[in-house]
Structure 1
């Protein structure tokens, strides 16, 4: 089977970022990269804030936040009135968990593809309330129908108070059929929280059509927003039950203001987020998505071939527009989170390449991303240099 051809580069795209040219940045999915024009937009907002803090925080800031919220919600196909700006996906998850009113006899169901910090948040809330956290194993190669059937069989109406499912998983770069999963859960009266941390910007989506009770996603990964920008979208029947993690002056204003207003928070990342969408649109949203997905597919095959992984054993992400791919590492490597972090650091130091090394189900996985600032030769270079490094156990 031939290696897929890399996409044509987007002219000038690399120059939009201030990334260190001495490093191959192949892990956009972890912290993203903020375009220079967005950095400057945020700095202008910070300059405005520091020139007159009292005026910045007391004259029209809530209106500016609401305008930003409407802009971002419209891009995502979400109801602006049901959308709140939050710092990141895990913050949104924590807000939902503590707003549910869990207690003994209740359970939160998730899958073993869930993000580590989200799993920790579920565990903490269950310990605090006496509820149970139950994790459903889902095979990596499961079909969409098998995923749906597994979740259907695992739901326990009357006891399962929340199903948490990823739209695009972090550890395994797998796209789940969340709209169908939501439908199955709702048939049994179970509300659903969709962790869509990687979706905004990467994948075309209509949050409203997903139909989840709660949907949370970051815009600082694939939508070029400054870090600390995410949205929590809440269905109408839940909005009055949503409480902030910290009470502030907008508490009596209801959702979403009570969630967004946190006094002296630096709101400039949120206010600059539309500049990120402007950059994405300027490059061409569909063009960027197609480029990034094709580049990630090329990276998976090139590095997979170098590690002697047969094409049939390279996991399918479940959709053609996924810009993250994983490759199994030789057995015995990165079998724990700590070992994965150590190997990731070693690759960064010795190969000048930033990658993600994940540990999932006792196996180490290399996760590579495609972004407009990347070039095929970066992955080709990694493919040449990585096998000798991994052999040095």
Structure 2
């Protein structure tokens, strides 16, 4: 089977970013990269804030945040009245968990593909309330139909108070059948939280049609927003029950304002976020999605070839616009979180390449991303040099 051809580069796209050219940045999915024009918009907002803090934080700021919220909700296909701006997806998860009113005997169900920090958040809330956290094992090769059946069998009506599923997993770069899983939850009267940290900007209209009770997504990854920009989308039946993590002056306004307003928080990342969406649209949203997915697929294949991984053993992400791919590392490599972090550091230091190394299901995995500032030769260099580095461990 031949290696897929890399996509044609998008002219000028690399120049939009201030990334160090001496480093190959193949891990956009972790912290994103903010375009220069968006950085400048945020800096102008910071200058405005520092020129007159009292004016900036005055009554007009609430309206500016609401305007930003409406803009971002429209981009995501979400109801702006049910959308709150938050710092990141895990913040949104924490808001949901502490608003549920869990009690002893209740349980929260997740899968083993879930994000680690979300699992920690669930564990903490369960310890605090006496509830139980139960994790469903989903094989990496499971089909959508099999995933649905695993979740269906794992719910316990009357006990399961929340089902947490990913739209696109971080650890395994797998697109889950989120809408179908939401439907299964609702069949059993179980509310569903969809962790869509990677969806905004990568997946088309990621909120529309899902029907989740709660949906969280980051704009600072694939949406080119400044870091610290995410949304929590809540279904109408739950909005009156949402409680913010921090109570401040917008508490009487209810959701979403009471979640958004946190007094002297630096709101400039949120206010600059529409500039990120504008940049994405200027490049061409569909064009960027197709480019990034094709480049990630190319990178997965060439790095897999370099490590001697047969194409049949390279996991498919499950969607045509998924711009993250994983490659299995040699047996015995990065089998723990600590080993994975150490290997990621060695790759960064010795190969001048930023990737993500994950430990999942007792095996190490290399996660590669594709973005408009990347080029095929970056993956090709990694494919040549990585086997030597691994042999030196």
TM-score computed with the length of structure 1 as normaliser: 1.00
Q: Report Cα offsets for 1:251-279 as digits up to 9, x if no partner.
A: 11100000000000000000000000000
The residue that corresponds to 1:199 in the other structure is 199
Assess if the C-alpha contact under 8 Å between 1:89 and 1:216 holds in 2: yes
Q: Distance in 2 between matches of 1:303 and 1:9?
A: 20
Matches within 5 A, 1:215-364: 215-364=215-364
| Greater than 4 Å deviation, 4+ residue runs | none
Report deviation, 1:207: 1.2
- Is 1:387 paired with 2:365? no
> How far did residue 208 of structure 1 move?
3.3
What are the within-5 Å matches in structure 2 for residues 87-166 of structure 1?
A: 87-166=87-166
In the alignment, structure 1 segments of 5+ residues that lack a partner are none
Question: Counterpart in 1 of 2:26?
Answer: 26
Alignment partners' CA distance in 1, 2:320 and 2:80: 29
Q: Take 2:364 and 2:112, find their aligned partners in 1: how far apart are those partners?
A: 15
SS at match of 2:57: helix
Alignment partners' CA distance in 1, 2:116 and 2:299: 25
- The answer (yes or no) to whether the contact 2:224–2:280 under 8 Å persists in 1 is yes
Please say if residues 98 and 125 of structure 1, whose CA atoms lie closer than 8 Å, have aligned partners that are also in contact.
yes
Provide the rounded CA distance (Å) in 2 between the counterparts of 1:332 and 1:128: 37
Provide the C-alpha distance between the structure 2 equivalents of 1:67 and 1:76, rounded to a whole number of angstroms: 15
Distance 1:69 1:330 in 2: 45
2:47 alignment counterpart: 47
Per-residue deviation, residues 340-378 of structure 1 (Å, max 9, x unmatched): 000000000000000000000110000000000000000
* Cα deviation, residue 320, structure 1: 1.4
| Distance across 2 between alignment mates of 1:164 and 1:232 | 14
Q: How many residues align?
A: 393
Matched residue SS, 2:315? coil
Deviation of the 1:206 alpha carbon: 4.2
Q: 1:223-263 CA deviation, whole Å, 9 max, x = no partner?
A: 00000000000000000110011110111110000000000
Alpha-carbon distance between aligned partners in 2 of 1:177 and 1:154, rounded to the nearest angstrom: 16
Question: In the alignment, what sits opposite 1:66?
Answer: 66
Please give the alpha-carbon distance, in whole angstroms, between the structure 1 residues aligned to 2:199 and 2:59. Answer: 33
Partner Cα separation in structure 2 for residue 205 and residue 149 of structure 1? 26
CA RMSD of aligned residues (A): 0.5
- 1:10 and 2:10 are equivalent in the alignment: yes
* Structure 2 gap ranges (5+): none
Alpha-carbon distance in 2 for matches of 1:59, 1:194 = 33
Question: Matches of 1:206 and 1:332 in 2, distance apart?
Answer: 37
* CA offset digits 1:284-311 (Å, max 9, x no partner): 0000000000000000000000000000
CA distance in 2, matches of 1:376, 1:239: 46
Once residues 181 and 114 of structure 2 are traced to their aligned partners in structure 1, the CA distance between those partners, rounded to angstroms, is 15
Task: Tell me the SS of whatever aligns to 2:42.
Answer: helix
Aligned-partner Cα distance in 1 for 2:192–2:373? 35
Q: Distance in 1 between matches of 2:179 and 2:59?
A: 41
Cα distance in 2 for partners of 1:273, 1:237 equals: 28
* CA positional deviation for 1:205: 2.3
The answer to whether the 8 A contact 1:295-1:323 is kept is yes
CA contact (8 A) 2:82 2:234 kept: yes
State how far apart, in whole Å, the 2-side matches of 1:198 and 1:94 are. 18
Contact 1:90 1:117 in 2 (8 A): yes
Q: Give me the whole-angstrom Cα distance separating, in 2, the residues matched to 1:207 and 1:81.
A: 14
* Contact kept? 2:199, 2:206, Cα under 8 Å: no
Residue 223 of structure 1 aligns to a residue in which SS?
A: coil
Q: Helix, strand or coil for the counterpart of 1:246? A: coil
